[in-house]
Amino acid sequence: MTVKLGLADAGEVADLAAFLARLIHYDRSAAVRLQAGGGALAVFGRPPAFEVLAIRTVRLDAVVELDVTVSAGELLEALDEPASAVVVPPSVTGPPWAGVLPPRGGWSRLPGLPSASEIRDVVGAAVAEFRARDEALPEESRTRAERDRIGREIWSRTLGATEVPLRVVHAAQSLGFLRGGPGPGPGPGAGSGGELALLGAGPWLRLRTAYGSVAVRRVGVGALPLSPV
């Protein structure tokens, strides 16, 4: 059965399109899990370069119940900005991460999160360090394994006094979640009111911004497989 979702306005369509395009940039065969409820659509993706869950929520023009995993590319192609709508593509077999999502409720605020500008400075310094160390490698040592080792060392560090790995905030910036200025209206799974917050629920940590969230498990999180630049 074909499901057509009406989004609140063209701006929501454009923001969702930008998010999907960024996911596809990191993984051309990316899949996303869609969960709709309470007048909002939460889109979950997992860019492999960061090993985190990225969540973008958009407002719908009606209350719809939906839970399906689809191709990110097909969803992007199905977006209709003039009509502020999207026809949900056929479901696909979901990757393993799609079956283990953060909880919808039970989140509590955690202390110690720096400001957005401070976070951007930390990410910038980490990127600069990676590039400098990579360029300093002798030619015979400039292997994928060595670059991955440097990446794991840098991006597994924690942010200030928090438990958040730096790859979480790097992902947030790379996906367009750390922007200046006021953000869009509230929605479950993403930020609300433009407020940056660090939340925890069980083994999960979530960096919430006005433009989306990045979530990661506190335990059992794998090492960074790719070296971000």
Domain final residue, candidates 43, 68, 99 = 99
Query: Residue 219: what pLDDT?
Result: 60
Average the pLDDT over 70-93 and give the result: 95
* DSSP string covering 101-128: PPPSS--EE-S-PPPHHHHHHHHHHHHH
Q: Could you tell me if 18 and 73 lie in one domain?
A: yes
Full residue range of the structural domain in which residue 41 is found: 4-99
The span from the CA of 157 to the CA of 84, in Å, is 41
Counted domains in the chain:
2
Residue 188: the pLDDT is 36
pLDDT tens digits for 124-149? 999 999 999 999 999 888 898 999 99
Q: Span 26-35, mean pLDDT? A: 96
Q: With bands split at pLDDT 50, 70 and 90, how would you rate the model's confidence at 34?
A: very high
Lowest model confidence (mean pLDDT) among 66-80, 170-184, 185-199, 201-215: 185-199
For the stretch 113-118, contacts whose Cβ atoms lie closer than 8 Å and that sit 24 or more positions apart, written own/partner, are 113/159, 113/160, 113/162, 113/164, 113/196, 113/197, 113/198, 113/207, 114/159, 114/160, 115/196, 116/178, 116/180, 116/196, 116/209
Q: Would you state the pLDDT for residue 142?
A: 87
Any domain includes 229? no
CATH code of the domain in which 28 resides: 3.10.150
Rounded-to-10 torsion of CA 172, 174, 177, 180: 120
d(CA 189, CA 43): 9
User: How many other CB atoms are there within 10 angstroms of residue 66's CB atom?
Assistant: 14
State mean pLDDT over 212-228. Answer: 63
Q: Is 11 helix (H, G, I), strand (E, B) or coil?
A: helix
Please state the φ and ψ torsions of residue 168, each to the nearest 5 degrees: -65, -50
Q: How far apart are CA 74 and CA 101, in angstroms?
A: 22
Q: Are residues 33 and 124 in the same domain?
A: no
- Whether 226 contacts 220, CB under 8 Å: no
Give the pLDDT of residue 119. Answer: 93
How confident is the model at residue 17, as a pLDDT? 96
Do 129 and 37 sit in the same domain of this protein? no
- Average of pLDDT values for 53-64? 95
Query: Average pLDDT, whole number, for the chain?
Result: 88
CB atoms within 10 A of CB 188: 17
Given a cut of 70, whether residue 191 has pLDDT beyond it is: no
Show the tokens assigned to 86: 């999207």
Regarding whether 91 and 112 lie in a shared domain, the answer is no
Of 189 and 180, the one with more pLDDT: 180
Instruction: Write out the two tokens for 214.
Output: 């990045």
Q: What is the mean pLDDT of residues 33-50?
A: 94
Residues 6 or more apart whose CB falls under 8 angstroms from that of 195 comprise 208, 210
The pTM score is 0.85
* Local confidence band at 205 (pLDDT 50, 70, 90 cut-offs): very high
